[in-house]
Amino acid sequence: MSEFLRAEHLTFVYPDENNGIPAVSDVNLTIQKGEYVAILGHNGSGKSTLAKLFNLILLPTGGSITVDGIRFFQEDDADDAELEEKVYSVRRRVGMVFQNPDNQLVASIVEEDVAFGPENLGLPSNAIRERVDWALDAVDMRGYARRTPYSLSGGQKQRVAIAGVLAMKPACIIFDESTAMLDPRGRREVLSVMESLNREGITVLHITHYMEEAARANRIIVMNDGRMLIDGPPREVFARVDELKEIGLEVPQATELLFRLRAAGFDLPLGVTDPHEAAELIAALYREVCHE
C-alpha cells in the first residue's frame, strides 16, 4: 500500500464562530491507498469538518493536508490560479457523498445526473456514455438509467449519488453520514456498495453514528472536541468501552454484552464486535461452567 492522504498538525477554525475555538485541532494521521476507515464522534466533534478538509471544501487554517502528493497549507504562497488548480485536482481524487438523498441529485433523469460530472470534464460523448454505464453498473442501478430520481427509494437515490461521484473516477470516496436518513434496507444497499468499491481498490472514509457500521471498517478514527482521540482497528477501539461512553458514543451490542459479563467476573475478551463470534464465546463459556 502507498500513502494517499496525510494530515500534519491539521487545524481549522470557522471564521466568526465558536469564539475562535478550532473545529479541528492539531490532527496528525496518514491514510493508505485502499483503506476502509470509519470516523466516529458525537455531533460537533469535528468529524464532518475533517472530511471537508480532506477534499478541500474547507482549506486548513493551520497545519497541512496532502492528498495524493498534492500538499496544501495555510502559508502556501501559490497564486490564485495555482491554488484553484490544486483544489480542482484534489476534488477529482476525493469524492463526497452526503447525508440527504434528496439534496444531491440535480437532473431529472438518473443517467443525466450521473453524466453531470464527466460532462464538465469535457470528455467526448462516447467516453461519457461508457463512464455512466460503468458507474451505474458499479452501484447496481443500470436498470434505472432512464428513470426519474423522484421515483426512487432513499437507498436507490444514494446509490445514484454514489454513481455520480464514481463517474469522476476518484481514488477516494468520503461518505458523510450517507446512511443516516435511510431505512435498514437502504443502509444495507449503501454499505454493500461502499464495501464492493473498497474491494476494487477505492479508499473509503465513512463518517457514521452507527457503531455496527463502523465495526465493519478496517480502521476507526474517533474524534472528540476537534481532536483525534483514538485511531486503531475496530477490535482495539471498541475495547475502550468506558472512554467511548465518556464522550457520548456507544459500542456494538455484542461488544456491550461481553463487556458486562466480563465486569461480572467472567473471562471474556473485550472489543469483539461480531454477534456470531460473541455467541460462540458465550456458548463455550456456558459449556465450560456446566461441565467443569
Partner 1 sequence: MNETVNEILRLSDVSYAYGAGTPQRTDALDHVSVGFQKGKITGVIGHTGSGKSTLVQLLNGLLRPDSGRVFFEGRDIWEKPKEITALRFHVGLVMQYPEYQLFDETVEKDIGFGLRNMKLPPEEIGARVREAAAFAGLPEELLKKSPFDLSGGEKRRAAVAGVIAMRPEVLVLDEPAAGLDPRGRRQILSGLHRYGRESGTTVILVSHSMEDMALYCDHIVVMDHARVLLNGTTAEVFSRTSELLAAGLDIPEISRLSAELLAAGVPLSGTLYTVEGVERSLLSLLGKGEASC
Q: Which residues bind partner 1 (CB under 8 A)?
A: 41-44, 99, 153-155, 177, 180-186, 209, 211-212, 248-250, 252-254, 256-257, 260-261, 264, 266, 275-276, 278-280, 282-283, 285-286, 289-292
Residues in the chain, total = 292
Residue type, 118: P
Short-list 38, 12, 2, 22, CA closest to 214: 38
Using the minimum distance from each CB to partner 1, give the nearer residue, 200 or 277.
277
Of 64 and 99, nearer to partner 1 (C-beta) is 99
Please, what's the b/e burial string for 2-41 (b: 16 or more CB within 10 A of its CB; e: otherwise)?
eebbbbbebbbbeeeeeeeebbbbebeeebeebbbbbbbb
CB 167 within 8 A of CB 135: yes
Instruction: Output the smallest distance, CB 250 to partner 1, in A.
Output: 5
Question: Residue 251 corresponds to which cell in the numbers above?
Answer: 459500542
Q: Say how many CA atoms lie within 13 Å of 183 toward its Cβ.
A: 4
Sequence-separated (6 or more) residues with CB below 8 Å from residue 3: 30, 31, 32, 33
CB of 97 to partner 1, least distance (A): 15
What's the closest the beta carbon of residue 220 comes to partner 1, in angstroms? 14
Q: How many Å is the Cα radius of gyration of the chain?
A: 21
For partner 1, which is the closer residue by CB, 51 or 202? 51
Beta-ladder partners of 175: 97, 206
CB nearer to partner 1: give 20 or 184.
Answer: 184
Q: Is the CB of 44 or the CB of 62 nearer to partner 1? A: 44
Compute the least distance from the CB of residue 172 to partner 1, in Å. Answer: 24
Least CB distance to partner 1 at residue 265 (A) = 9
State the minimum distance, in angstroms, from the CB of residue 25 to partner 1: 19
Nearer to partner 1, 74 or 148 (CB): 148
